[in-house]
A and B are shown apart, each in its own frame.
Chain A
Amino acid sequence: MTPTLADYLLVSGILFTIGLTGVMLRRNIIIIFMGLELMLNASNLSLVAFSRYHLTAVGLPNYSGQVLVFFIITVAAAEVAVGLAIIVALYRARQTTHVEDLNSMKF
């Protein structure tokens, strides 16, 4: 049995939900960060799946989706570098990575 587009999208949706749940519920900022990455990769997965299943007239995959994935991976790498740098700076300043302790920007 070959997997259909719906199977890929289901997996992608599950991954996205796991990532979102992590972002929402976990308190450690590094875990939240990992959740974010998971959400990005879930969207990558669905993009690749769309690319594979929407063939062009001559039978080739639609490469636009795959190119977009490369862009997301590139940008995500840069984002990880910046994000981790911020977290390190934050830890040096506040000695914590717990988001509940980082609430001084409120009214």
Chain B
Amino acid sequence: MSSAKSVEVSDLDLYYGSFHAVQNVNMTIQPNKVTALIGSSGCGKSTFLRSLNRMHELVHGARVEGSVILEGQDIYAPDVDPVAVRSQVGMVFQQPNPFPTMSIYENVAAGLRLNSRRMKKPAMDEIVERSLRGANLWEEVKNRLERAGSGLSGGQQQRLCIARAIAVEPEVLLMDEPCSALDPVATLAIEELIRELKVNYTIVIVTHNMQQASRASDITGFFNLEESGKPGRLVEIDETETIFSNPANKATEDYVTGRFG
């Protein structure tokens, strides 16, 4: 199986053109833990998440300063290929986005076929099954692997996307509000899955749902804006229990107790 890795973020500043979106983030993301990032809309937590696998730079004019060190290597060093970074750091998005023209099987296998990797059919079958089991989806789809992934329910599609992400055995798994488009039952299924996945992966999840952060995460980081137009900053990061019961910062307390945002 893959080996979870820690991520060391130092003095990270993120920009969209001249707009300073996130200012001076320092944090250590611990292996085999779920780190939740909470904060109001527009505080830069999604932007920060996307900087961890170099998806931030896909936006026209986006820039990054500072360093993100994964396994001793700064992923923003000039000689690092973003394609290689993204195959080490997987991502699950807010809206389930299986490839609509591919079957369930092909969706899970999509990452395995990249970069001209060749793989025999039995080996591929095995990884597809293992990934679908890993995403708690195997029992539901094992008899219709050749059907379109877009025919599944929203929650199943999101688990399919998780299976697709873990099939390439990343070291870190990023999740950008993975449950915000799902109903409560599907949400609980995904949260349970997240707790199981941390055995093998380092997980960072952005969420608007504070119950979700308190249920599913070990560490919680709170992002905030001083005022609109100013860059977002990481106000506080600590054990989830501490953040929700006894935060060090007043703004954090206001946010988690619902007096704000």
Partners in one complex: no
Enumerate chain B interface residues (CB-CB to A < 8 A). Answer: none
Enumerate chain A interface residues (CB-CB to B < 8 A). Answer: none
